[in-house]
Each structure stands twice: as structure tokens, then as C-alpha cells.
Amino acid sequence: MDKKLVIAMVGLPASGKSTVSSKLRQCLAGEGLVVGVFNNGDVRREMCRGFDSACSEFYAPENRDGVALREKIALINLERAAEFLAGKGDVAVLDATNVSSRRRRVIKEFLTGYPIFFVECVNQDPELLAASISRKARLAEFSHLNFEQAQESFRERIRYYNRIYQPLGDEENFVVLDTLNNRIERERVQAVLPHYRFVRDLLVSDWVPNMYLARHGETTFNLEMRIGGDPDLTPRGFKQAQALARHFGDIPLPYVFVSTKKRTRQMSELLCQDREDCRVVALPEFDEIDAGVCEGMTYDRIARDMPQIHAARTRDKYNYVYPGGEGYVTLKERVERGVKKALYLSGNAQNIMIIGHQAVNRMILSHFLFRRTEDVPYIYIPQDRYFHIVSTQSRKLFELVKFNG
């Protein structure tokens, strides 16, 4: 009994609850615990075949039939969790909205005898919320609607839940988690909870099973030693893209994140060709460093025509900021935001790839691997190799792998 724990998720739809639940299950299982995730949505889809539970009106608080059915679904899941814990189960994760105080009281009354730890997930970022809704709208339960209708239906579902939302406050044991930044905003723990220290560390840590970090292939600007811009890949660059695609031919890649620049998108097109399971997401946070007044210029011309810029950047490459542009020091915040967005949007996928640029990839590597700031601008970022990154509580891996480009 001393190992038994109930972790009850709380939060609006698309706030990251299922992503956190999956992370908890995989990491706690890695510690030798028997973990079960009990998702109310899965039970709803089992029970409601032929019944339009995807319709937003199903979630309206005044819809008595919908409320009664959702209460029944919640009780079925609680029964399954209780049976699991009474047997060999160690940790039961209740993956549901649980946004009302009444529902949380039902959980405590039904699972009396087990310590209960509430984790409230919040996502206040409108861009991330929109991206999450876009992902949800592609689920099979919305297949009878077009994409715009599906998104609006899900937004309406969120509005209905928001009407009955009561944030955590009176519960004995809880944390409120900013799911984008892995940051605990509020916390109260008044009991000795099994696995609590491990779970708390897990909640505030990036969890990366397999990230593949590649740079775009050779471009016309690379040949001319120009910086920035939006050039195309060269014939050699396309061969490098083909080599990367062959190398990953048998490896599932559900998410490939690129910048908004042509060279990364061209790299991803060959990689994801004929893959039904591959979704390409362009994030401006992964755009190459903006060279401002030097954008598109060659290094020789900068040294000749702007010697003061060349000298200042040579003295302190990390902290130097191009006039009208960026520097490594200002790039750090947006690239780290891009990494967090990629991890959030991929929903704990086992494999993700980021195809970026030289300076951007240096900053991504420094996010996971400590490097002195003055050394970051000199990290080797080749165009015929990728970095394989694993960062979990039990395993850290950084390896540079050649793909014969």
C-alpha cells in the first residue's frame, strides 16, 4: 500500500493533461512501477459509438443527458482505477478534465484509502492553444466535420468546460503546472506522498525520448559564403536531403519541425515523402539568426566594408548583436521557446526531428548540453550529420551521426 498513488489531472481540454499523463506513465514505469492511465475520453469513445459525443453540445452544462452520461463515464473509469490499484497497480493516473470541485470530491470519496495528488495543467499561450486545437481537430471523432468546423466544435467544448472550471485551492495535495514552460506556479503538499519527489522533478523537466537535430543541406548562399537570406538548396543540398531520408527510412517520425525558411522545408519534403505518419510543423522560433544590416552579405564584404562590425563580433561573438538584427545572446530566448513548443506539440512522441540552421542548432544543443556561452558560436554543425539527443531522468545521450550526405 505504501507504493500506491492516485495522480488526478485537472484542466481544460488542450491544456496538456494527456501529454503529462503519458510522460508520467513512461517515466514511472521506467522506475519499475506498474502504472495505468485512465482516460475518460477513451471510455467515452468506447461507450458512445453511434452517439455524437464529439458534438460540442454534449458538453453543455445544461445538457442533462450529456451530464449524466459524462458522470457515468467518470465512474466507470474510477471503478477501473480502483480495481487496478487493488491488484498489482502502483500508480493510477486519472486523465480527465476534473475541473469542478464536485468531481474532485467524488474522486476522493471513491478512492478513499489511497493518497491522491492533483496536477492542474494550465496553458495560457494563445498560439500554443490554437496549435493544440488544430491537432485535436484531426482526431477520428471529428471526421464527419471539415477542419474549420472541427476546430470550432473543440473551441466550444473548451468554453463549456470553462463555465464550470474551479481551479485547485482547497485540495490537500496539488500542484498547478504551466505545461509549456514545465514550471510549477502553485503548490500545496500536506501529506507524505509516495514517489512525490520523483514526480515533482519529472513535471519540471524536459523529457526527450529521441530527438534528431539536423541542419539543412548545402545552399547557394553557403557556396557564396553569404549569411542569412532565404536561399534554395543546391543540387548537393538535395542529395543531402535524399541521404537523410534514406537514413531514416525505417524510423517513424510523427513530427518534423522546421523553420519558415525554404531550405529547411525543402529538406523536410524528401524526408516526409510517402510517410502517412509524418507531420511537418514550421516554427518561426527556429528561423536562422537575423543578421540585420549584414543580411545576405559575404563575410569578406563585411570585413572590408564594415570593419567595425567585423571587429566587434570577432571580439565577442556570443554577445554581439547585428545592427537591426540579432545575436546569439538575443536568439537564446526564442530558440528555447521553440524547443518547448516542439516538445509540447509533439505530445511525448517517441521520435521527433528538428531541421534547423547553424546558429539555431547551436542554441538548441546548448539547451540540452551545458556549454560555456563564449563557446556556443563555435559548436560544429555539419550538413551531412545529425545529433541524436536523449534527455530523460534515467538516460542522457548526445551523439553525432553521419548519414552519408
265 is catalytic: no
138 is catalytic: no
216 is catalytic: yes
Angle, helices 358-368/328-346, rounded to nearest 10 degrees: 70
Q: How far apart are CA 18 and CA 348, in angstroms?
A: 9
Q: Print burial letters for 259-278: b (CB count within 10 Å at least 16), e (below 16).
A: bebbbbbbbbebbbeebeeb
Closest to 85 measured CA to CA, from 196, 4, 191: 4
Alpha helix locations (H) across 164-255? 196-203, 220-224, 235-247
Which member of 218, 285, 288, 326 is catalytic?
288
Which member of 77, 182, 222, 361 is catalytic?
222
Computed from CA positions of residues 33, 39, 42, 44, in that sequence, does the dihedral angle turn out positive or negative?
positive
222 is catalytic: yes
Question: Position 332: which residue type?
Answer: K
Q: Could you say which DSSP state residue 284 is in?
A: G
Closest to 353 measured CA to CA, from 240, 215, 219: 215
Q: How far apart are CA 283 and CA 81, in angstroms?
A: 39
Which member of 216, 247, 362, 385 is catalytic?
216
Half-sphere exposure of 147 (CA within 13 A, CB side): 4
Q: Is 211 helix (H, G, I), strand (E, B) or coil?
A: strand
Which member of 104, 263, 362, 385 is catalytic?
263
Contact at 8 Å (CB) between 95 and 35?
A: no
Question: Position 203: which residue type?
Answer: L
Strands 116-122 and 183-189: unpaired
Q: Is 61 helix (H, G, I), strand (E, B) or coil?
A: coil
Which member of 25, 70, 357, 362 is catalytic?
357
186 is catalytic: no
Contact at 8 Å (CB) between 102 and 14?
A: no
49 is catalytic: no
Which member of 215, 226, 247, 313 is catalytic?
215
C-alpha cell at 314: 570577432
Would you name the residues annotated as active-site residues? 215-216, 222, 263, 288, 357
